[in-house]
Chains A and B, each alone.
Chain A
Amino acid sequence: MEPIRILTAVPICDGHDSAINTINLELIRHGIEVVYLGYHRSAEDIVRAAVQEDVRAIGISSYNGGHVEFFGEILAELRARNGQHIRLFGGGGATITKADAEQMYESGVDQIFFAGTSLGEMVDYVQRQFGAPIAHGEFEDPRSDRALAAMLTRIENGANPNSAGNRSDARKTKLFGFTGPGGAGKTTLIDELVLRFVRHLPDQRIAILSHDPSVMGLGALLGDRATMIYSQNDRVFIRSMATRGQTGGVSLVTQQSLRFLADTEIFDAILVETVGTGQEALPFEFSEVRLDASFLVMPPDYGGRLQLQKIAMLDAADVIVVNKSDLRGARTAVAEIQARIGPNRRAQRLLRTQANRHGDPGVDQLFQVLFPGQPKSAFEYTPVAHHSF
Chain B
Amino acid sequence: MTSLGQVVQSVRKYRNFVRSEVKRVRNEPKAAEKILNRWREIRSEVGTTETPTGIKLPTLALPEIDEPGEITRFLLEEGLPGEFPYLSAAYPKQYLASGGSNGSSANSNEKQGEEPTRLFAGLGLPEDTNARLHYLSRNQQSKRLSTAFDGPTLYGVGAGARGVFGKIGEGGVAVDTIDDVERLYDGFALDQPRVSVSMTISGPAPILLAMYIAAAKRRFGPGVLPKLRGTIQADVLKEVQAQNELIFPIEPSMRFLADMVDFCVRAMPRWYPISISGYHIAEAGATPVQQAAYTLSNGFAYVDYFQQRGMSVDVFGPRLSFFLDCGLDVEYVALARVCRKIWALGMRDVFGANERAQKLKLHTQTSGRSLVAADWKNNLTRTAIELVLACMNATNSCHSNAADEPFTTPSEEYARYAAHAQAILLEESGLFRHMMNTLAGSPGMRVVANAVEEGILDEFEVIEEQGGVLGAVERRYQRSQIQAAAHLLESQISSGERSIIGLNRYTDDENRWPNLEMIRTDREKKQLHLDRLHEFHRQHADQSERSLDSLTKVVESDGNVFAELINTVEHCSLGQITNRLTEVVGKFRPMV
Contacts and interface: CB of A to CB of B under 8 A. Distances in A.
Interface string A26-52: 000000000010111011100000000
Interface string B468-498: 0000000100000001001100100010000
B373 A116 contact: yes
B419 to A, nearest CB: 22
Given A43-B163, A227-B592, A383-B545, A13 B490 contact: no
B244 A388 contact: no
A12 B164 contact: yes
B372 interface: yes
Contacts of A389: 158, 160-161, 537, 573, 575-576, 579
A229 B590 contact: yes
Contact of A66 (B170, B243, B486, B515): B170
17 contacts: A12-B151, A13-B157, A15-B244, A16-B244, A40-B590, A64-B150, A64-B171, A65-B166, A65-B170, A66-B165, A69-B166, A115-B373, A115-B374, A227-B590, A229-B588, A384-B583, A389-B158
Interface stretch (A89-97, A280-288, A368-376): A89-97
B591 interface: yes
B152 A13 contact: yes
B406 A115 contact: yes
Contacts of A188: 589
Contacts of B171: 64-65
A299 to B, nearest CB: 11
B167 A65 contact: yes
A16 B154 CA distance: 13
Given A17-B244, A389-B160, A40 B407 contact: no
Nearest to A70: B166
Contacts of A118: 494
B408 A229 contact: no
B589 A381 contact: no
A94 B166 contact: no
A248 interface: no
B587 interface: yes
A18 B284 contact: yes
B520 interface: yes
Task: Report whether over half of chain A's contact residues are helix, strand or loop; otherwise say mixed.
Answer: loop
A22 B487 contact: yes
A245 B475 CA distance: 26
Given A65-B151, A66-B170, A381 B285 contact: no
Contact of A226 (B160, B545, B584, B592): B592
A73 B586 CA distance: 27
A12 B494 contact: no
A357 interface: yes
B549 interface: yes
A198 B588 CA distance: 18
Contacts of B407: 93-95, 97, 115
Interface in B523-557: 537, 545, 549, 552, 556
A115 B167 contact: no
Nearest to B520: A65
B514 interface: yes
Contacts of B587: 229-230
Contacts of A345: none
Nearest to B585: A358
Contact of A227 (B549, B552, B579, B589): B589
A70 B163 contact: yes
Interface string B29-69: 00000000000000000000000000000000000000000
7 smallest A-B Cβ distances: which pairs?
A69-B166, A65-B170, A358-B586, A66-B166, A13-B151, A15-B244, A94-B407
A56 interface: no
B585 A12 contact: no
Given A13-B154, A387-B579, A68 B166 contact: yes
Given A15-B244, A115-B372, A388 B537 contact: no
A21 interface: yes
B503 interface: yes
Interface in B561-592: 573, 575-576, 579-580, 583-592
A67 interface: yes
A288 B282 CA distance: 52
Interface in B393-418: 406-408
B465 interface: no
A56 B7 CA distance: 52
Interface residues of A, number: 54
Interface string B226-250: 0000000000000000011100010
Interface string B284-304: 110000000000000000000
A359 interface: yes
B162 interface: yes
Contacts of B514: 94
Given A64-B171, A97-B518, A69 B165 contact: yes
A381 B556 contact: yes
A36 B537 CA distance: 36
A223 interface: yes
Most A-side CB within 10 Å, residue of B155, B475, B515, B576: B155
A14 interface: yes
Given A21-B483, A95-B407, A116 B374 contact: yes
Nearest to A381: B584
Contacts of B483: 18, 21
B525 to A, nearest CB: 13
B17 interface: no
Given A13-B152, A42-B162, A381-B584, A116 B503 contact: yes
B355 interface: no
B550 to A, nearest CB: 13
Nearest to A64: B171
Contact of A14 (B151, B518, B590, B592): B151
Contacts of B252: 358
A80 interface: no
Interface in A337-359: 356-359
B428 interface: no
Nearest to B544: A387
B466 to A, nearest CB: 12
B251 interface: yes
Nearest to A21: B483
B220 interface: no
Given A226-B592, A229-B587, 7 more contacts: A12-B167, A15-B244, A38-B590, A94-B373, A358-B252, A388-B161, A389-B160
Interface in A155-178: none
B513 interface: yes
A119 interface: yes
A139 B165 CA distance: 34
A388 B591 CA distance: 25
A360 B481 CA distance: 31
Contacts of B589: 188, 191, 227, 229, 356
A179 B299 CA distance: 37
Interface in A73-131: 73, 93-95, 97-98, 114-116, 118-119
A72 to B, nearest CB: 8
B280 to A, nearest CB: 9
Nearest to B376: A94
B170 A227 contact: no
Nearest to B280: A15
A25 interface: yes
Given A64-B170, A65-B170, A13 B372 contact: no
A78 to B, nearest CB: 14
Given A22-B486, A65-B167, A40 B372 contact: no
B155 A227 contact: no
A14 B31 CA distance: 60
A71 to B, nearest CB: 9
A184 to B, nearest CB: 13
Given A65-B166, A223-B592, A358-B585, A40 B373 contact: no
A119 to B, nearest CB: 7
B344 to A, nearest CB: 32
